[in-house]
Amino acid sequence: SQKIKIGIVGYGNLGKGVELSINQNEDMELIAIFTRRDPDSLNNPLMRNIKDIADYKDKIDVMILCGGSATDLPEQTPEIAKMFNTVDSFDTHANIPIHYDNVDKVGKEKGTLNLISSGWDPGLFSMQRIIGESILPVGNTYTFWGEGVSQGHSDAIRRIDGVLDGKQYTVPIEKALEKVRSGENPEFTTREKHLRVCYVVAKEGEDLERIENEIKTMPNYFDEYDTEVNFITKEELEKNHSGMPHGGYVLRTGQSETGSKQRIEFVLELESNPEFTASVLVAYARAVKKMHNNGENGCITVFDVPLGMLSPKSPSELRKEIL
């Protein structure tokens, strides 16, 4: 049968990850990559100027949107949904309901199907939280992130006066994880769950104590955590901290009526956050194509997608092989 035709909008970490992931899915083909920058500067034969996106209206089944959540996706998703089915990874949690309403309106008007806030968190972790809470209604849910690089916190370090570059790792505290696993149903303060570890390259002659203090007391980002600050050279940062690992844990600990303890634990260990997130978006693009073929439109989230839709296999194949 015909391959699913994919387009990518935005060629950053995630966009590059999607391009790679398509190679691993034989039922899909990449048609074009759209950017707001000069396409000729990006050295890729599939690169197109985003201004030409309308020319691809009948040539692409699903657009995978790889812009940033802060300012790109709130504009791009509703705009592109006027012409194409879309998948995005919108992760500004507080604004998901507004984003949903905007995209749903366009999708219903234009007959496109659009899946928002896919990825791992939000995304796979959100699904695990729902599974845990639905199956073990009496219990507690815990999410731990890391060990991994937080882009937002790394950016915050780099904005400090006297800092050349920096990376921040979010590290779950093992003792807290063990407490959860034991079924004690503990309550934690922010400080008790995660540690923040920073690697900082300072400009020559800077007062390191001042920089360390500014990091540790930064409101919203660091002040509620125990933070470790390590000053290193530019070479060390490039050699040892250039990757984008991430991951984490979703745990649900509950009890059945007799008091039997039950625990569900979902773990992600990701050597590359953007490459993994991209592979989730690609699987959901397949689901969007299938569900659009079935006549659905508007906006959906991972909660609205039956699991089998993610697979290239048919329902009968899945029943034979997996049940």
The count of residues in the chain is 323
Using CB under 6 A, pick the residue from 78, 107, 123, 172 that binds ligand NDP. 123
Q: How far is the CB of 22 from ligand NDP (least distance, A)?
A: 16
Phi–psi pair at 230, nearest 5 degrees: -115, 125
* Most distant pair of Cα atoms in the chain: their distance: 68
User: Considering CB under 6 A, how many residues would be counted as binding ligand NDP?
Assistant: 24
How many CB atoms lie under 10 A from the CB of residue 303?
Answer: 9
* Residue among 163, 169, 232, 158 at smallest CA distance from 198: 169
As a whole number of angstroms, the distance between CA 285 and CA 72 comes to 19
For residues 252 to 281, the per-residue mask of contacts with ligand NDP, x marking binding by CB under 6 A and - elsewhere, is ---------------------xx--x----
126 binding ligand NDP? (CB under 6 A): no
As a whole number of angstroms, the distance between CA 63 and CA 8 comes to 6
Q: How far is the CB of 68 from ligand NDP (least distance, A)?
A: 4
CA dihedral of residues 154, 155, 156, 158 (deg, nearest 10): 90
Q: Toward ligand NDP, which CB reaches closer, 89 or 279? A: 89
Question: Which parts of the chain fold into alpha helices (H)?
Answer: 13-23, 72-80, 96-110, 124-135, 151-158, 174-181, 190-193, 208-216, 234-240, 273-293, 315-322
Q: How far is the CB of 175 from ligand NDP (least distance, A)?
A: 26
For residues 37 to 56, the per-residue mask of contacts with ligand NDP, x marking binding by CB under 6 A and - elsewhere, is x-------------------
For residues 81 to 120, the per-residue mask of contacts with ligand NDP, x marking binding by CB under 6 A and - elsewhere, is --------x-x---------------------------xx
Using CB under 6 A, pick the residue from 69, 85, 279, 297 that binds ligand NDP. 69
Give residues in contact with ligand NDP (CB under 6 A): 10-15, 35-37, 66-69, 72, 89, 91, 119-123, 273-274, 277
